[in-house]
């Protein structure tokens, strides 16, 4: 005689420490197997896009920091680029190189948090989490040296950046560039072939390339499925066309591939930063702009490759000192749409690891 089981509903979050912010999953289970998932978000909604309409263009720059507080500098970039396009503001070459250096440092810091958090989610590698935060602190120290801040940097400005780098920055950055590859080797020794990591991530949360494309996924999530799409290569902006670097790709599209992609991308970011330092010209760090900027009436869309994927800004100007409309294409929000596809059929114990492998920031998801 076969016994029929009755599905039951389990709420994970919104205060679960492994949900990477205030997020809830309403999971339907048959024993340990996930039958259905309903993502529930909105706990962190602040109406940022509406706030943009009530402040001047320059006052909105600090708000863009708060979209993704883990990679604030990357979130400044598409917004200031959009304003520069509408107002026909030129950016000095030195400022473009400074933007690249800071954005790539921010990318490494974000990936260190992403990988370290997933290791912690497994409950087996708190050591790895602490090691990666050790290096992340070095990056935060560098960013603080330039901006005076350690989380929300408010660094980019229309026509450039808020300030040039201090004299002590480049020597400190050079020391970091020399030691960081050794730390990445240390991580690989500790993690890449670890039996527990392999068993918890290999073949788990597989995202097919077709599904990723159909859901408009981007970033390491997309490239982990083998799709070669990185805006820095596919649609270069700023001065990225002047650098030599590779786009790491996965083959299986599972949690392990997404881990490997982020590890490899950190090495490529180091390559980019080194080239940017070598090529950076002297000159001004900013083109002067009016305090009460009034871009020409019109609309534009700009996008960058953030640590989480394609981050875009759609901006509409009516010729006044405040935006008529501002909307962000948040990669974390769009990448989250594949969560149900990844979780159905998996065991409950794997749900948090799969979710963590997407690497979302709830500030960006909820906005």
Is 70 exceeded by the pLDDT of residue 60? yes
Residue 160 lies in a domain: yes
Domain CATH code at residue 311: 1.10.645.10
Task: Compute the distance between CA of residue 8 and CA of residue 129 in angstroms, rounded to an integer.
Answer: 34
Contact 147, 164 (CB under 8 A): no
| Within-domain flag for 99 | yes
Q: What is the pTM of this model?
A: 0.92
pLDDT in tens, 309-360: 999 999 999 999 999 999 999 999 999 999 999 999 899 888 888 988 888 8
Looking at the predicted structure, is the pLDDT value of residue 18 above 70?
Answer: no
For the chain, give the mean pLDDT.
90
pLDDT(19) > 70: no
User: DSSP string of 109-165?
Assistant: HHHHHHHHHHHHHTTS-HHHHHHHHHHHHHHHHHHHHHHS-SS----EETTEESSPP
Residue 175 pLDDT greater than 60, yes or no? yes
| 129 located within any domain | yes
User: Does residue 2 lie within any of the structural domains?
Assistant: no
Q: Is 165 among the domain residues?
A: yes
**Token pair recorded at residue 302:** 């700009």
Q: Tell whether 3 is covered by a domain.
A: no
Count of domains for the chain: 1
Rounded-to-integer distance, Cα 223 and Cα 246, Å: 12
Give the model confidence (pLDDT) of 259-273 as tens digits: 999 999 999 999 999
Instruction: Detail the DSSP E strand segments found in the chain.
Output: 8-12, 24-30, 33-40, 156-157, 160-161, 298-306, 309-317, 325-329
State the helix-helix crossing angle for 348-358 and 93-121, rounded to 10 degrees: 170
Identify whether the C-beta of residue 323 lies closer than 8 Å to the C-beta of residue 316: yes
The answer to whether residue 129 scores a pLDDT higher than 60 is yes
Across the range 218-241, mean pLDDT stands at: 93
> What per-residue confidence (pLDDT) applies to 15?
62
pLDDT for 267:
95
pLDDT at 366: 84
Is 291 part of any domain? Answer: yes
Percent of the chain topping pLDDT 70: 97
CA distance 216 to 36: 22
| Domain-located, residue 199 | yes
Contacts 24+ apart (CB under 8 A), 208-216: 208/253, 209/253, 211/338, 211/341, 212/253, 212/338, 215/334, 215/337, 215/338, 215/341, 216/334, 216/337
Contact (CB, 8 A) for 173 and 272: no
53: left (phi over 0), alpha (psi -120 to 50) or beta: alpha
Domain extent for 99: 8-366
pLDDT at 274: 96
């Amino acid at each position: 005689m076969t016994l029929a089981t009755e599905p039951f509903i389990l709420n994970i979050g919104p205060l679960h420490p492994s949900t990477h912010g205030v997020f809830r999953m309403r999971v339907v289970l048959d024993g340990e197997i996930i039958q259905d998932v309903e993502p529930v978000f909105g706990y962190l909604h602040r109406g940022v896009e509406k706030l943009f309409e009530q402040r001047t263009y320059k006052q909105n720059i600090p708000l863009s920091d708060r979209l993704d507080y883990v990679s604030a500098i990357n979130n400044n970039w598409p917004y200031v680029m959009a304003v520069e396009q509408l107002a026909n503001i030129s950016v000095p070459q030195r400022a473009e190189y400074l933007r690249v250096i800071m954005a790539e440092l921010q990318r490494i810091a974000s990936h260190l948090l992403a990988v370290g958090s997933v290791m912690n989610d497994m409950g087996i590698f708190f050591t790895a989490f602490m090691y990666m935060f050790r290096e992340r602190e070095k990056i935060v120290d560098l960013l603080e040296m330039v901006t005076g801040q350690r989380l929300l940097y408010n660094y980019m400005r229309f026509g450039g950046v808020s300030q040039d780098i201090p004299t002590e920055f480049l020597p400190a950055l050079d020391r970091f560039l020399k030691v960081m590859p050794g730390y990445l080797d240390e991580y690989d020794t500790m993690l890449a072939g670890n039996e527990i990591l392999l068993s918890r991530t290999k073949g788990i949360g597989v995202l097919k390339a077709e599904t990723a494309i159909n859901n408009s996924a981007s970033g390491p999530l997309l490239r982990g499925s083998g799709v070669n799409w990185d805006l820095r290569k596919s649609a270069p902006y700023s001065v990225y066309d002047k650098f030599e670097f590779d786009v790491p790709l996965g083959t299986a599209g599972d949690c392990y591939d997404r881990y490997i992609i982020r590890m490899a991308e950190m090495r490529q970011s180091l390559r980019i930063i080194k080239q940017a330092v070598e090529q950076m010209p002297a000159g001004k760090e900013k083109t002067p702009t009016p305090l009460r900027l009034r871009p020409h009436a019109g609309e534009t869309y700009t996008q960058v490759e953030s640590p989480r994927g394609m981050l875009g800004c759609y901006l509409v100007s009516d010729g006044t000192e405040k935006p008529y409309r501002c909307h962000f294409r948040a990669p974390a929000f769009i990448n989250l749409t594949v969560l149900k596809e990844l979780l159905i059929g998996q065991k409950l114990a794997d749900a948090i690891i799969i979710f963590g492998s997407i690497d979302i920031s709830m500030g960006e998801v909820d906005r």
